[in-house]
Amino acid sequence: MAIVKSFAVGNGDTFYIKHGTDNFTIIDCNLSDENKDQIIQELKDQSKDKKITRFISTHPDQDHLGGIEYLDEKMPINNFYVVKNKATKKPETESFKHYCKLRDGDKAFYIYKGCKRKWMNQDNEERKSAGISILWPKLDNEHFVKALADCENGGSPNNISSVIRYSLKDGASFLWIGDLENEFMEKIFDEIELNKTTIVFAAHHGRLSGKIPNSWLKKLDPQIIVIGEAAARHLHYYTGYGKLTQNKAENITFECEDEWVHIYSSKEDYTPSSPLFEKLQNKNKTTFDYYVGSIEVETEYTLENME
C-alpha cells in the first residue's frame, strides 16, 4: 500500500509519497509559521520506518520552496533532486538562498528526462525502487534551453519545471507538472512521453495560464485532475473530467491499495462534483478521517519504472 498526500498550503505546493517500498518522497514545500510544525511532524511520522527519503524540487519559485530552510533544519535533506540551473531572483528570500545552497551542494542529484538512480527507479538486492520517472526536462530541447536562460537572467522559472510520474505496478499512477505554462506544454508535446495516468495535479495550481493542453489530456486520460488553491477567478475547471478542488477539499490523501484509490479530505463535509461523484464507490475505508470514496484504477501501463 502507498499513500500520496497533497497539503492545502495556500497558493503553493507541498506533497509527499509514502511508498510501498523502503522510500519516502517529498515534492516541493510551501511552509508558513501557521503550518510548518504540523506538516513537518506529519512528514516525520509518515517517514519514520523508511530508510531512503528524498526531496524533489520541481522549480525555484517561492511558493514551491518556502520554508525549505526550516524543513532542512528539522528533517535534514540528504537527497535533493533538482533541475540543474543557476536561477537568480531579486530580492533573494532566505528560502531561495537555502534552495541555492542545496542545489549547488554535494547532496544534489540533477534530474532530467529518462534519468536513472538508485532507488528512485532502480532496484537492487538491498531495496526496491520508488517507482518515480522523470519525464521532463529534455536538456537539449530548444524551448527548455530558452526557459533556462530566462530564469538565469532573473525571469520566471515556471518553464524549467520538471514533470514527475509515480506509478505502482497494476495500480495507480500520479503526475506532477510544477508550474509549466500552457503555451510551453504545447511546444514540447512531441518530445515528452505521456501515458494514461490515474491522477494528475493540474499545472500552476490549476490556473488558466497552466491549463493542461487537450493534446496532453488525450494521452494522459486522467480519472481525476486535482485543482490547486489559486484564486477561483484564475482557475480552469477541466469540464468533463473528474475533479478534486483543493480550495474546497483542503488536504487530500490518496490511499493506494491494489487496483483501488481511496480518497480522503480534511474537510468533513466535502463532496466532489459531477462527474467524479457518480464514479465514486463506497468501500467503507477508515484509515484516515473524512473518507470521500474510492475509484477503481483503469490500467494501461508499461512495466518500466513502476514500484
Per 3-state DSSP, the chain is made up of helix, strand and coil in percentages (nearest 5) of: 25, 25, 50
Task: Let me know: does 261 contact 6? Beta carbons within 8 Å.
Answer: no
| Percent share of the chain, pLDDT over 90 | 93
Task: Let me know: does 121 contact 87? Beta carbons within 8 Å.
Answer: no
The answer to whether residue 3 scores a pLDDT higher than 60 is yes
Does the domain at 2-296 match CATH 2.40.128? Answer given as no
Give per-residue pLDDT as tens, 108-151. Answer: 999 999 999 999 999 999 899 999 999 999 999 999 999 999 99
> Given this model, what pLDDT does residue 302 score?
45
Euclidean distance between CA atoms 190 and 192, whole angstroms: 6
Give per-residue pLDDT as tens, 29-38. Answer: 999 999 999 9
Mean pLDDT of 16-30: 98
> Given this model, what pLDDT does residue 303 score?
46
Mean pLDDT of 184-211: 96
Q: Which of 142, 43, 119 is nearest to 307 (CA)?
A: 119
Phi, psi of 68 (to 5 degrees): -65, -30
Mean pLDDT of 165-178: 96
DSSP 102: H
> Given this model, what pLDDT does residue 253 score?
98
Mean pLDDT of 64-69: 98
> Given this model, what pLDDT does residue 299 score?
76
Euclidean distance between CA atoms 36 and 68, whole angstroms: 10
Cβ-based neighbours of 114, under 8 Å, separated by 6 or more: 134
Euclidean distance between CA atoms 302 and 288, whole angstroms: 31
* Residue burial 238-273, b: 16+ Cβ < 10 Å; e: rest: beebbbbbbebbbbbbbbbbeebbbbbbbbeebebe
Give per-residue pLDDT as tens, 230-241. Answer: 888 888 999 999
> Given this model, what pLDDT does residue 305 score?
62
> Given this model, what pLDDT does residue 36 score?
97
Q: Where are the domains of the chain?
A: 2-296
Q: Is the peptide bond before 119 cis (omega within 30 degrees of 0)?
A: yes
Euclidean distance between CA atoms 48 and 40, whole angstroms: 12
CA distances in angstroms from 274 to 54, 224, 244, 280, listed in the order given:
36, 11, 10, 10
Give per-residue pLDDT as tens, 256-290. Answer: 999 999 999 999 999 999 899 999 999 999 999 99
Distance of alpha carbon 151 from the chain centroid? 21
Task: Let me know: does 178 contact 188? Beta carbons within 8 Å.
Answer: no
> Given this model, what pLDDT does residue 234 score?
87
Q: Which three cell numbers stand for residue 175?
A: 503526475
Mean pLDDT of 178-185: 98
Euclidean distance between CA atoms 114 and 133, whole angstroms: 7
> Given this model, what pLDDT does residue 300 score?
64
Q: Which of 31, 4, 164 is nearest to 98 (CA)?
A: 31
Mean pLDDT of 33-57: 97
> Given this model, what pLDDT does residue 232 score?
83
* Residue burial 77-94, b: 16+ Cβ < 10 Å; e: rest: bebbbbbebebebeeeee
